[in-house]
A and B are shown apart, each in its own frame.
Chain A
Amino acid sequence: MTIDLKTVKHISKLSRISIDDNKAKKLSDDLNSIFKFIEKLEELNTEKIEPLTSIAETNLKLRKDEIKSKNIREDILKNSPEDNKDFFVVPKVVE
């Protein structure tokens, strides 16, 4: 299977990463060589194999749902590129 320019544009949209046309060509070449390498897996028959999602195949521990950190608004906003002391500020979404 080949990843053409149209597919690259589609993935870039899904990834929320804008790609200009010059870079798209190089990216398509890179992705094709990587996928050629990845597709080696097709040689294997895995029909009856259970997928391994995580090495830690244990049940997650439950804990009480209680508040551990309080009054951390300042901390949370500290690294934001733009805020008004109470909220994150983003470009206008609703007209």
Chain B
Amino acid sequence: MSNIIDLKLFELVEKIKKKEISSTEVTKAFIDRSQKSKKLNSYITENFENALQKAKQFDEKPDFNKKLPGIPLAVKDLFCTKNIRTTAGSKILENFIPTYESTVTQNILNEGGIIIGKLNCDEFAMGSSNETSFFGNVQNPISENLVPGGSSGGSSSALAAKLTPATIGTDTGGSIRQPASFTGTVGLKPTYGSCSRYGIVAFASSLDQAGPMTQNVKDCALMLEVISSYDNKDSTSVDFKRGQYLKDLNENIKGKKIGIPKEYRVDGMPKEIEELWKKGMKIIEDNGGEIIEINLPNTNYALPTYYIVAPAEASSNLARYDGVKYGFRSKGENLIDMYEKTRSEGFGDEVKRRIMIGTYVLSSGYYDAYYLKAQKVRRLIKNDFDEAYKKVDAILTPSTPSSAFKIGEKTNDPVSMYLNDIFTVPINLAGLPAISIPAGHDKSGYPLGLQVIGKAFDEQNILNIAYSIEKNINFKNNINDWWIN
């Protein structure tokens, strides 16, 4: 038998169901490898002992009807997990131990999944390289000193390094798809309202969505099926009939109309990405799909809109960290002084910067010029997609304008860091589903991804298109375990 850690999630599920391997064996295998992989810094909190106990319990009384029978999973440290520390990558939550479970992780537990740990991320999910985490940089397993993307950088790193068979992240402006693209893995941001936001540390509530990150499209369909659910604890959760994403997964894309937005051909985009995009189009045509040029004329305004809307919502959401109810507290001469010192010492620079942008654009005299304006442009961006979807079934773009960059390369220039999300942000603003799949390498051998964007609640369609591209593209990740001594 091949190594347990080399098996795909769906293979692990099959083998456990057939009693060829036990949950304990699988859990041990991923924990062993995680323990040898500290250099990656993918984990913030380990839950190994507890997980092994849970695996043992599962093996004693197995339930093979579950979708994740005794499967160990590490998850982004933005999901509240009952009795397991949840930090959101921030000093201000360094010692926070939730007394409740997020709906998404509860869904994983309900299906037999076992949480083996909490994965590193940018502080409050604000970042594109995992460099804003209070718990330090994360290494990309592809190459030393390369960022794993962000904000779900611990998730992408742990997944690509096979420390967990699959994982979940959150995506506010690209935080699942960009790290997936940087590590040669699959990441899906579902339609806004598909996965409950209950128990996810809030960043920008009108944009945040949880989603799966996996080794392949089939695993992605399985994970989406587990985590997507209607939840009355989230007022924006949408009560629609969820698909049987795994069962209905198929590579038939005959007759599908796929849009190519010319506005995504940005200046300075590496040639490899342009070529990759063409390769994707060719696969679609070879498989009976039709390529159609479309316009998304307001694409260039998406990032500026995002950098008003997201910080505005963040400044409001993060007002709760006041040193009173939970989290870090600094000493102050009086209440106000305590607030100000707590927040100054508890938050990192990027988070402070965004709170201040948000506070400013919401402040008296500037609200109309910035926040209201951004909300109006957000409507225009959504209208662009509505128009496009009158002509096409899905849209194909690159996932990112470049491959992974070096640690420290962009930390001093916030705007150049923000530009990473140019292809992913518009999708969050419009609330649509999108999947990033690995599709090739650049000249340094770093992975590059393609993004398939769907209509709202049309996850099955983008999964199927991604499945077809995956089958034809034969992507292989080049990982040589350099971090293991």
Contacts and interface: CB of A to CB of B under 8 A. Distances in A.
A55 B315 contact: no
Interface stretch (B110-118, B162-170, B319-327, B390-398): B319-327
Given A52-B376, A56-B236, A79-B327, A15 B415 contact: no
B478 to A, nearest CB: 35
A2 interface: no
A84 interface: no
Nearest to A3: B360
Interface of A is mostly: loop
B308 A81 contact: no
Given A11-B356, A55-B193, A49 B415 contact: no
Nearest to B308: A38
Interface string A55-82: 1101011010000000010011011111
Contacts of A56: 192-193, 236, 238, 431
A31 interface: yes
B304 A16 contact: no
Interface in B267-296: none
A31 B343 CA distance: 19
A33 B376 CA distance: 23
A58 B325 CA distance: 32
B417 to A, nearest CB: 11
B193 A38 contact: no
Contacts of B324: 80-81, 88, 90
Contacts of B333: 91
Interface string A22-47: 00000100110111011111111010
Contacts, number: 159
Contact of B375 (A27, A31, A52, A63): A52
Given A41-B305, A55-B430, A61-B232, A17 B343 contact: yes
A79 B333 CA distance: 22
Interface of B is mostly: helix
Contacts of B304: 37-41
A78 B232 contact: no
A75 B356 CA distance: 32
Contacts of A60: 235
B329 A17 contact: no
Interface in B184-212: 192-193, 206
Interface stretch (B220-228, B347-355, B444-452): B347-355
A50 B376 contact: yes
B335 A90 contact: yes
Interface in B307-364: 307-308, 315, 319, 322-329, 332-341, 343-344, 347, 352-353, 355-357, 359-360, 363
Interface string B161-187: 000000000000000000000000000
B193 A79 contact: no
A79 B307 contact: no
Contact of B357 (A18, A31, A42): A31
Contacts of B315: 15
B325 A88 contact: yes
A37 B418 contact: yes
Given A11-B359, A40-B301, 9 more contacts: A3-B360, A11-B360, A16-B343, A17-B340, A19-B344, A41-B305, A51-B372, A55-B193, A56-B193
22 contacts: A7-B360, A11-B359, A11-B360, A14-B359, A16-B343, A18-B341, A27-B352, A30-B414, A33-B413, A34-B415, A42-B373, A46-B380, A49-B379, A49-B380, A52-B379, A54-B206, A55-B192, A78-B99, A79-B99, A79-B325, A88-B324, A91-B335
Interface of B: 95-97, 99-100, 192-193, 206, 232, 235-236, 238, 298, 300-301, 303-305, 307-308, 315, 319, 322-329, 332-341, 343-344, 347, 352-353, 355-357, 359-360, 363, 370, 372-380, 382, 413-415, 418, 430-431
Across the A-B interface, the 7 shortest Cβ-Cβ residue pairs:
A55-B431, A51-B375, A79-B326, A81-B329, A46-B376, A52-B379, A18-B340
